[in-house]
Amino acid sequence: MSANRWWGRPATTLAACVARGELSAEQAVESGWEAASTWEGDVHAVAHADATVRARAARTAPPGPLRGVPVIVKDNLCTAGDYPTTCGSRILAGYRAPYDATVIRRLRAAGAVLTAKGNMDEFAMGSSTEFSCYGPTRNPYDLTRVPGGSSGGPAAAVAYGLAPLGLGSDTGGSVRQPAAFCGVFGLKPTYGRLSRYGLVAFGSSLDQVGLFARHAGDVALLYSLLAGPDLRDATTRASPPPDVSAWDRGVKGLSFGWPENLWREGVEPEVVAALEEAAACLERAGARRVAFDFLPGTYAVATYYLVATAEASSNLARFDGVRYGPRAPSTDVWSLYVRSRSQGFGPEVKRRILLGTYALSAGYYDAFYLKAQRARTRIRREYQAAFGRCDFMLLPVAPTLAFRLGEKTTDPLAMYLSDIFTIGANLAGIPGLAVPLGLAGSGLPRAVQLVGPEDSEPTLLRAGRALEVRGEVARLGREHETEFPWPMKR
């Protein structure tokens, strides 16, 4: 990497250079747009950007650990005074939030600069970023393939170099799966550790703001700046969040679960190979493998799609054309609702609102929603039991590498099943970290997922770091950064 390729640097390095005066905050932010000049036209990771707005933000960024560091945030995080907040939906066309989400406020206070809002599946419903009113985002490693979703925009942008950091939201894997498809780190924190205030809700009991970065150390830094209680979100935990500063301490003495039964069938060989390689790395670094069968409820997918759609059907009721967003012309209030919503929502959102409405209906509530809640409790217990035997588990993120555009859009069930390894963490409220593991022979990124008990972020980051340096953590200094496998145009 040549010295002037600032956009390739980790956030910590970039911030240090800005702090030392080696480059201005504006230059730091614009450097990412150099990368974008090559990629953005094809990848389409950005939903909203504005050169004047980000230049002003860079000039006025307060001193802080991220001063001058550009960050791309998903289009469902409310940002005031700079970009629209539209959730990739026509029903919020042109909507500008009058307030900053808590995580955005904390980002800005740390000196970070919002360089763009990232594309996403409409209202975060999807696993491929194909369901956006702005059109699909493509995978920078293969433009015929999806970047994953729903936070595909931020994931792809972090992968090609627009920004070293990104924020997404993860309701059932929407950060971890695109991170895996785009070859970057993706953390879904413990439920209640990052404020949801200002995150446009999909499934309130499952949603968490998630983090993207190209390096384990950057994930740790970003987590430490954003995590913690928020008086505006009653579901945040009151206790101080766990300390992740020892992210490079190595994994000596840790044990990881190896539930091999999960990938005996239905999982691509490249994904299994990545798991074997990761396990070997962790063992080399001093961790112990604990093999066991893990059955996190045969009904996890069904449970997830009942809970998430039920909550979504109610959360999305507010988009009615009365107070904000486009309003369809009509002569009475009922047709105003029907037309505004019919025209404003895309097909996947409509499908989920219908599913959720059905699940909550009189006469079906007990059979669907209530049963799903019971199943959820059991799934949570099964995870707890598994963590009685190990410190964290090694799992696939998705059963496949990045799939082709259009491959699953006509088969919702196949799309839903691609979440099978990620939804457990959301149902159980526990953290999950997608860790990139280089490229497969096909040139597509490979990844594994680390899942641990509540507040195990420090452990997951230590293991993620060990994998980042291929198990050599003890011999390499904290400042060591392995070269990121940048995408090649094809």
Partner 1 sequence: MAHEAVIGLECHIQLATRSKMFCECPAEFGASPNSNVCPVCLGLPGALPVVNRAAIDAALQLGLVLGCTIREASVFARKNYFYPDMPKNYQITQYDRPLCEGGALPVRLCETARSFPLIRIHVEEDTGKSFHPERTGDRPVSRVDFNRAGVPLLELVTEPAFRQPEECGAFLAGLRRLARWLKISDGDMEKGHLRCDANVSLRPPGSASLGTKTEIKNLNSIKGVEKGLTAEIARQAAVLDAGGRIEQATLLYDADHDKLAVMRSKEYAHDYRYFPEPDLPQLTVDAAWVEEVRGRLPEPPWTREDRYVDHLGLPAYDAAILCETRERSDYFEAVVGAGTDAKRASNWVMTEVLRHVNARGLSEREAALRLPAKSLAVLIGATESGRITSASAKEVLEEVFEKGGDPEAVIAARGLVARSSPEELLPLVREVLAENPGPVAQFRGGKQATLGFLVGQVMKKSGGRAAPQVVQELLRAELGALR
Taking CB under 8 A as the rule, does residue 34 contact partner 1? no
CA distance 1 to 80: 36
What is the full DSSP assignment across 200-265?
A: PPSSTTT-EEEEEESSHHHHHHHHHHH-S--TT-TTS-SSPPPP-TTTTS--TT-EEEE-GGGGSS
Alpha-carbon span 15 to 111, nearest angstrom: 9
Contact 69, 113 (CB under 8 A): yes
21 is a site residue for partner 1 (CB under 8 A): no
Minimum distance, C-beta of residue 336 to partner 1, in the bound complex (Å): 9
Q: According to CB under 8 A, which one of 2, 265, 362, 388 is a site residue for partner 1?
A: 362
CA angle 395, 190, 137 (to 5 degrees): 65
Please report how close the Cβ of residue 350 comes to partner 1 at its closest, in angstroms.
16
Q: Which is nearer to partner 1, 318 or 478 (CB)?
A: 318
Q: Establish if 310 lies at the interface with partner 1 (CB under 8 A).
A: yes
Q: What part of residues 199-238 is at the interface with partner 1 (CB under 8 A)?
A: 199-201, 203-205, 231-235
In terms of CB distance, is 304 or 484 closer to partner 1? 304
Decide whether 193 or 446 has the Cβ nearer to partner 1: 193
Nearest-approach distance from CB 318 to partner 1, in angstroms: 5
CB 153 within 8 A of CB 368: no
Residue of 89, 127, 150, 340 marked catalytic: 150
- C-alpha–C-alpha distance, residues 322 and 296, integer Å: 43
Q: Binding of partner 1 at residue 330 (CB under 8 A)?
A: no
61 vs 103, beta carbon nearer partner 1: 103
Instruction: State the minimum distance, in angstroms, from the CB of residue 233 to partner 1.
Output: 5
Q: Is 169 a catalytic residue?
A: no
Q: Under the criterion CB under 8 A, does residue 486 sit at the interface with partner 1?
A: no
Closest Cα to residue 254, out of 303, 229, 289? 289
Please name which of 310, 287, 245, 271 lies closest in space to residue 391, comparing C-alpha atoms. 287
Q: Is 204 or 255 the residue whose CB approaches partner 1 more closely?
A: 204
Amino acid at 77: L
Taking CB under 8 A as the rule, does residue 333 contact partner 1?
A: yes
Under rule CB under 8 A, residue 314 binds partner 1: yes
How near is the Cβ of 57 to partner 1 at its closest, in Å? Answer: 20
CA atoms within 13 A on the CB side of 80: 9
Provide, rounded to whole angstroms, the least separation between the CB of residue 356 and partner 1.
9
Rule CB under 8 A: choose which of 83, 131, 258, 337 binds partner 1: 337
CA atoms within 13 A on the CB side of 130: 20
Subset of residues 239 to 298 that bind partner 1, contact rule: CB under 8 A: none
Told to check if 324 binds partner 1 by CB under 8 A, we report yes
Q: Answer yes or no whether residue 93 interacts with partner 1 by CB under 8 A.
A: no
Which single residue is written with the structure tokens 């009922």?
334
For residues 41 and 143, the answer to whether their CB atoms sit within 8 Å is: no
Catalytic residue among 31, 89, 169, 174: 174
Return left, alpha or beta for 399; rule: phi > 0 is left, psi -120 to 50 is alpha, else beta.
Answer: alpha
Selected range binding partner 1 among 140-148, 216-224, 319-327, 446-454, rule: CB under 8 A: 319-327
As a whole number of angstroms, the distance between CA 398 and CA 267 comes to 8
How far, in Å, are 258, 259, 267, 418 from residue 293 at the CA level? 8, 5, 16, 21
Note whether 3 binds partner 1 by CB under 8 A: no
Residue 442 is among the residues annotated as catalytic for this protein: no
Instruction: Check residue 353 for interaction with partner 1 (CB under 8 A).
Output: no
Q: Does 450 bind partner 1 (CB under 8 A)?
A: no
Q: Is 252 a catalytic residue?
A: no
SS3 state at 350: helix
DSSP-assigned letter for residue 290:
E
Using CB under 8 A as the binding rule, the residues of this chain from 101 to 130 that contact partner 1 are 101
Strand 432-439 to strand 445-451: parallel, antiparallel, or no bridges (unpaired)? antiparallel
* Minimum CB distance to partner 1 smaller for 206 or for 274: 206
Asked if 311 is part of the footprint of partner 1 (rule: CB under 8 A), the reply reads yes
* Residues 64-83, interacting with partner 1 (CB under 8 A): 76-78
Q: Which of 317, 367, 385, 414 binds partner 1 (CB under 8 A)?
A: 317
Alpha carbon distance 479, 465 (integer Å): 12
How buried is residue 269: exposed, middle or buried, by Cβ count under 10 Å (0-12/13-18/19+)? Answer: exposed
**Which is closer to partner 1, CB of 314 or CB of 409?**
314
Which positions lie near partner 1, rule CB under 8 A? 76-78, 85, 87, 92, 95, 97-99, 101, 196-201, 203-205, 231-235, 310-311, 313-314, 317-320, 322-324, 331, 333, 337, 357, 360-362, 365, 369
Residues known to be catalytic:
74, 150, 174
